[in-house]
Amino acid sequence: MQYSEKVMDHFMNPRNVGEIEDASGVGTVGNAKCGDIMKVYLKIEDNIVRDAKFKTFGCGAAVATSSMATELIIGKTIEEALKITNKSVMEALDGLPPVKVHCSCLAEEALQSALWDYAKKNNITIEGLEAPKDSDHHHHIENEE
């Protein structure tokens, strides 16, 4: 499997690892199938994301996409932050192998989930922000007994 240098760099040297005490918003998402769990913390002041940290339990691509997602969101307004999609995360990392694309989707969901948490805590409506779906929404677990 071929990873770009940027993916490797963010995996070996992830940015913004940790947690933010008194975070403005926290989002946790998980993928039952591959066992990746991402937790994103955001510090938001005056509509600007001042800081972002993450904790990810998962594969290298999950770590790399979380790292890049937090890099992309810091310094952005909430409106700009909403525009960060799995596509923008992947482009910033110079692409991901097809089997790892779901990791970038998870990173996008974690950011959205943290923004949703922030909106809820502050009783505000953020234009274009949807309620997080059930964290296992795209993973059907079949009973094979």
The active-site residue out of 17, 34, 126, 129 is 34
Q: Select which of 49, 73, 103, 105 is catalytic.
A: 103
Q: What's the rounded Cα separation, in Å, for the pair 68 and 63?
A: 9
- Are 33 and 139 in contact, with CB atoms under 8 Å apart? yes
Q: Edge-to-edge strand order for the sheet containing 48-57?
A: 25-31, 36-45, 48-57
Give the H/E segment covering residue 36. Answer: strand 36-45
95, burial (CB in 10 Å: exposed 0-12, middle 13-18, buried 19+): middle
The yes-or-no answer on residue 59 being catalytic is no
Q: Is 103 a catalytic residue?
A: yes
Residues classed as catalytic: 34, 103
